[in-house]
C-alpha cells in the first residue's frame, strides 16, 4: 500500500473515530442529564413559555401519580368551574377510536387530545403493536388566562362529541375521509344552543399518514381574559423503545423543526438540550429512529420552546427520551379564532415524507450538511435501491446487487488507483536508493527534490493514487449514513440477521464486563466480525503487493489495528452496513485479481524507463517549487554559518 493510500485511510479512520466519540455521551453528560431530569420540575422560570413548559412537566408527573394510585385517580384534576369551564375527573374519561388503513387513533374526552397512535402496518422489535405515544406519558393542550385571571389548560377539560351517533369507533378506508369533532362548553350553559365553545375537529383519511386538526375558539369573549393577544400550546411526551438497540435509538431520537425559509434544524441527539426558537416555525417533530410525530401549522407558529430530556440506556422502562415543546399562536379576542394544523404520524421513509413537500424527509440523516453526500444518497443510492426493491427481492440480495453496481461504476477509479500503486512499486527501489544517498536530516530538502525529479522524469504523479481515494470517500460516507437510516431495512431478515437495520447477534451475554461491555457491547455481531476479517485480509494483500517498506515505521502495524478498532465501533451498528462493507472488500479482492491479469508490470516498467529518456519540460508549478526549495536550502546554509 502506498504512502498516499495509507494517508487516505488514516483520514477516513480518523473521521469515523471522531464521529464515534462525538456521538457517544460521556458519563458526566449522562449524570448531568439525570440531574436535569430530576430537577426540571423545580426550576423557577420567569419567561412565560418556560413557565408553561415547567407546568407541563409537573402535570405529567401528577398524571403518573394518579395512574399508580386508584384513590388519587378519582379526584378532579383542577377546580376551574369558577372560570366558566368544568374540569373532568380522571374516572369520567371516555375514549373514541378513529381507524384508517394505516393507523388507529384513540381520542380522549379529557382534553379532547389524541391519547395514543398505533401504526397498524408495523410492530416493535419484540412483535408488540407499534404505538408512537400514549396519553399516560403525554400532555397536550392550549393554555390561557380566564376572566378571573386563572390559568386554564384545555387538557383538564371535558370534551364531548359534536354529533352523537352512538358509536365510539369510526372506520375509514381507501380515498375516503371522515371528520370527528369534540367541543368543550363553558359551565352551566345550554350546550344544545350555546354559541360559546372550544372545538377540535379531526380529519382522517383512509390511506394517508397526515391527520387534519382544526381548533376553533368560538364566542370566548367573557371567558378568556380580554388582554389575551396570544395562545400557548403545550405538547410533551415520553417516547418508548421501538427498536432492538435502545442505545442506538436514543442517539437517533431528537426534536426537528423547520422555519418559514424551509431550513430544517434539530437539537442534539446525544445530550439534553433546550432551545428558544424566537423566529416563526412551520413544524416541530418528535423524531425517533424510524418513526415521527410531527405537528404542522398551515400558517406558522410565532415562536416555540423545545427541549429533550434523555435517559440511561440501562433503564428498564424502555424510555427513549422525553420531548417537551411550547408554542405561541396569535389570538384575537374581537373575533372567533381558528387554527388550521396537521399531524403527521408515520414512518421516516424518504419517499413517504418527500410526497408532502414540506422538507419532512430532512429528518432522515442522509448527510444534508454536505451537498455531495446528500446528492449521492438522494439521486443515486435511494433511486437504485427503490428500483431493486420493486422486484420484490430479499434485502440482502438487494444490497449485494447494489454493491456490484457501485463497484462497476467505480471500476475506472479502482483501475487508476492500481496503476498508480504499480508505478510507485516499480519506482520503490530507486526511491530507496535516493534515501540512502541522502541519509541525514539536513538533506531532507535535497532528498525531496531528487524524489520529485525522479517522479517527473518517469512520468509518475505521486498524487494519482490519493485522488481516486478522495473521490470514493463521499460515497463511502454517504453509504455509512444511508444504511443505518434506511427504513426499508427495518426488521428485514437475511441469513442469520433478523433485522438488517440493527446489529446481528450470534452470541450475547448479560454480565457487564469492564471495558468490553462499554466499548464492544454484550453481543457478537457476525457480519461485523466477517467485515473485520475481510479488511485485515485486504490490508495484508496490499502490503504484500507493495512489499516491505522502510518508510513510516509502525504504520504497517497501525493498518492492522484499524480493523480491530472498527470491530468495536460497528458491533452495535446496522448489520446491513457491515454486510455491505464486507461485500465491498470481497469485490475489491476480485477486482484486484482481474486487474493484475490485465496489467503487465514488465511493460509498465519499460514504459517508465522510456519516459526517463525523454526531455522533461518543467511546469510553472514545479519551477516555483524548485525555486522555493533552493531558497530554503540557502537559508539553512546561512543559518549553519
| CA Rg value for the chain | 32
Cell of 249: 435509538
Q: What are phi and psi of 252, to 5 degrees?
A: -120, 15
H or E segment and range at residue 73? none
More confident residue, 601 or 102: 102
- Looking at the fold, whether 296 and 421 belong to one and the same domain comes out as no
Question: Is 35 a domain residue?
Answer: no
- State how many domains the chain has: 2
Q: Is the pLDDT of residue 157 over 70?
A: yes
How far, rounded to the nearest angstrom, does the alpha carbon of residue 630 sit from its chain's CA centroid?
Answer: 52
SS3 content of the chain, % helix, strand, coil (to 5): 45, 25, 30
Q: Tell me: do 443 and 572 sit in the same domain.
A: yes
Indicate if the alpha-carbon torsion angle 191, 195, 197, 200 is positive or negative: positive
Whether residue 131 contacts residue 117, with contact meaning beta carbons closer than 8 Å, is answered with: yes
Q: Please say if the pLDDT value at position 505 is more than 90.
A: no
Question: What are the tens digits of pLDDT across the range 339-374?
Answer: 999 999 999 999 999 999 999 999 999 888 777 888
Q: Which of helix, strand or coil describes residue 497?
A: strand
If one compares 43 and 611, the residue with the highest pLDDT of the two is 611
Report how far residue 318's alpha carbon sits from residue 315's, in angstroms, rounded to the nearest whole number.
Answer: 6
What would the 3-class secondary structure string for 80-116 be?
CHHHCECECEHHHCCEEEEECCCEEEEEECECCCEEE
Beta strands per DSSP E along 469-540: 505-508, 523-525
pLDDT average, residue stretch 459-476: 66
Cβ distance 114 to 343 under 8 Å?
A: yes
Strand partners, 231: 329
- Domain holding 395, by residue range, is 3-19+374-613
CB 36 within 8 A of CB 272: yes
Structural domain contains residue 93: yes
Cell 477486482 locates to 591
Same structural domain, 138 and 275? yes
Residue 523 lies in a domain: yes
Distances (CA, A) of 381 to 385, 457, 471, 574: 6, 42, 16, 17
Q: Are residues 607 and 566 in the same domain?
A: yes
Residue 31, domain member (yes or no):
no
Instruction: Report the CATH number at residue 109.
Output: 2.70.98.90
Which range is most confident: 391-395, 622-626, 633-637? 391-395
pTM for the model stands at 0.76
Highest mean pLDDT: which of 126-135, 363-372, 583-592? 126-135
Residues 352 and 414 in one domain: no
Confirm whether 618 is domain-assigned.
no
Q: Does the residue 27 lie in any domain?
A: no
Asked if pLDDT for residue 259 goes beyond 90, the answer is yes
- 48 in a structural domain: yes
pLDDT of residue 590: 85
Looking at the structure, do residues 430 and 344 belong to the same domain, yes or no? no
Residues 6 or more apart from 595 whose CB is under 8 A from it? 414, 415, 418
CA–CA dist 438, 445 (Å, integer): 9
Same domain, 106 and 9: no
CA distance 181 to 213: 10
- Name the helix (H) or strand (E) containing 274: strand 273-277
β 169-171/95-99 pair status? parallel
Residue whose C-alpha is closest to residue 535's, from 483, 482, 476, 486: 476
C-alpha cell at 443: 538533506
Amino acid at each position: 500500500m502506498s504512502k498516499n493510500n495509507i494517508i487516505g485511510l488514516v483520514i477516513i479512520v480518523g473521521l469515523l473515530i471522531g464521529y464515534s466519540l462525538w456521538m457517544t455521551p460521556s458519563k458526566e453528560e449522562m449524570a448531568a442529564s439525570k440531574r436535569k431530569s430530576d430537577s426540571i420540575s423545580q426550576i423557577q422560570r420567569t419567561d412565560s413559555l418556560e413557565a408553561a413548559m415547567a407546568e407541563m412537566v409537573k402535570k405529567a408527573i401528577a398524571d403518573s401519580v394518579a395512574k399508580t394510585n386508584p384513590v388519587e385517580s378519582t379526584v378532579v384534576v383542577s377546580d376551574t368551574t369558577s372560570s366558566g369551564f368544568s374540569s373532568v375527573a380522571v374516572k369520567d374519561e371516555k375514549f373514541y377510536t378513529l381507524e384508517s388503513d394505516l393507523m388507529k387513533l384513540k381520542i380522549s374526552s379529557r382534553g379532547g387530545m389524541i391519547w395514543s397512535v398505533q401504526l397498524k402496518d408495523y410492530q416493535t422489535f419484540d412483535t408488540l403493536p407499534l404505538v408512537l405515544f400514549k396519553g399516560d406519558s403525554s400532555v397536550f393542550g392550549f393554555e390561557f388566562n380566564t376572566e378571573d385571571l386563572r390559568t386554564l389548560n384545555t387538557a383538564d377539560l371535558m370534551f364531548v362529541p359534536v354529533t352523537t351517533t352512538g358509536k365510539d369507533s369510526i372506520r375509514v378506508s381507501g380515498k375516503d375521509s371522515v371528520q370527528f369533532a369534540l367541543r368543550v362548553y363553558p359551565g352551566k350553559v345550554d350546550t344544545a344552543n350555546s354559541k360559546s365553545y372550544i372545538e377540535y375537529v379531526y380529519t382522517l383519511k383512509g390511506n394517508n399518514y397526515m391527520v387534519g386538526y382544526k381548533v376553533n375558539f368560538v364566542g370566548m369573549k367573557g371567558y378568556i381574559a380580554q388582554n389575551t393577544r396570544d395562545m400557548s400550546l403545550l405538547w410533551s411526551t415520553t417516547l418508548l423503545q421501538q427498536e432492538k438497540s435502545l442505545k442506538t435509538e436514543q442517539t437517533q431520537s431528537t426534536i426537528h423543526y423547520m422555519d418559514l425559509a424551509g431550513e430544517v434544524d434539530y437539537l442534539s441527539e446525544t445530550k439534553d438540550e433546550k432551545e428558544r426558537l424566537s423566529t416563526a416555525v412551520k413544524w416541530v417533530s418528535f423524531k425517533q429512529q424510524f418513526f415521527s410525530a410531527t405537528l404542522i401549522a398551515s400558517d406558522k407558529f410565532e415562536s416555540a420552546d423545545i427541549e429533550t430530556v434523555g435517559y440511561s440506556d440501562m433503564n428498564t422502562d424502555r424510555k427513549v427520551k422525553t420531548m417537551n415543546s411550547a408554542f405561541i399562536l396569535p389570538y384575537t379576542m374581537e373575533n372567533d379564532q381558528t387554527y388550521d394544523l396537521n399531524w403527521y404520524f408515520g414512518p421516516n421513509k424518504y419517499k413517504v415524507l418527500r410526497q408532502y413537500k414540506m422538507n419532512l424527509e430532512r429528518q432522515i440523516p442522509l448527510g444534508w450538511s454536505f451537498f455531495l453526500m446528500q446528492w449521492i444518497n438522494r439521486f443515486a443510492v435511494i433511486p437504485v435501491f427503490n428500483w431493486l426493491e420493486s422486484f420484490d427481492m430479499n434485502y440482502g440480495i438487494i444490497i449485494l446487487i447494489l454493491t456490484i453496481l457501485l463497484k462497476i461504476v467505480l471500476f475506472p477509479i479502482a483501475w487508476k488507483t492500481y496503476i498508480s500503486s504499480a508505478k510507485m512499486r516499480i519506482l520503490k527501489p530507486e526511491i530507496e536508493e535516493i534515501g540512502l544517498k541522502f541519509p541525514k536530516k539536513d538533506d531532507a530538502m535535497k532528498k525531496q527534490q531528487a524524489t520529485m525529479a525522479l517522479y517527473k522524469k518517469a512520468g509518475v504523479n505521486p498524487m494519482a493514487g490519493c485522488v481516486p481515494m478522495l473521490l470514493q470517500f463521499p460515497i463511502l460516507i454517504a453509504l455509512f449514513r444511508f444504511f443505518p437510516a434506511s427504513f426499508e431495512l427495518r426488521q428485514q431478515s437475511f441469513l442469520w440477521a433478523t433485522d438488517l437495520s440493527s446489529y446481528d447477534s450470534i452470541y450475547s451475554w448479560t454480565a457487564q464486563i469492564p471495558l468490553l461491555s462499554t466499548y464492544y457491547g454484550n453481543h457478537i455481531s457476525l457480519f461485523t466480525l466477517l467485515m473485520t476479517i475481510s479488511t485485515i485480509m485486504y490490508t495484508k494483500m496490499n502490503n504484500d503487493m507493495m512489499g516491505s517498506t522502510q518508510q513510516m515505521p509502525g504504520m504497517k502495524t497501525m493498518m492492522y489495528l484499524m480493523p480491530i478498532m472498527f470491530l468495536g465501533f460497528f458491533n452495535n451498528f446496522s448489520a446491513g452496513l457491515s454486510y455491505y462493507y464486507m461485500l465491498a472488500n470481497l469485490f475489491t479482492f476480485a477486482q484486484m485479481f482481474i486487474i493484475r491479469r490485465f496489467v503487465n508490470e514488465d511493460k509498465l516498467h519499460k514504459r517508465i524507463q522510456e519516459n526517463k529518456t525523454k526531455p522533461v519540460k518543467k511546469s510553472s508549478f514545479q519551477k516555483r517549487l524548485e525555486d522555493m526549495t533552493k531558497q530554503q536550502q540557502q537559508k539553512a546554509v546561512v543559518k549553519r554559518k
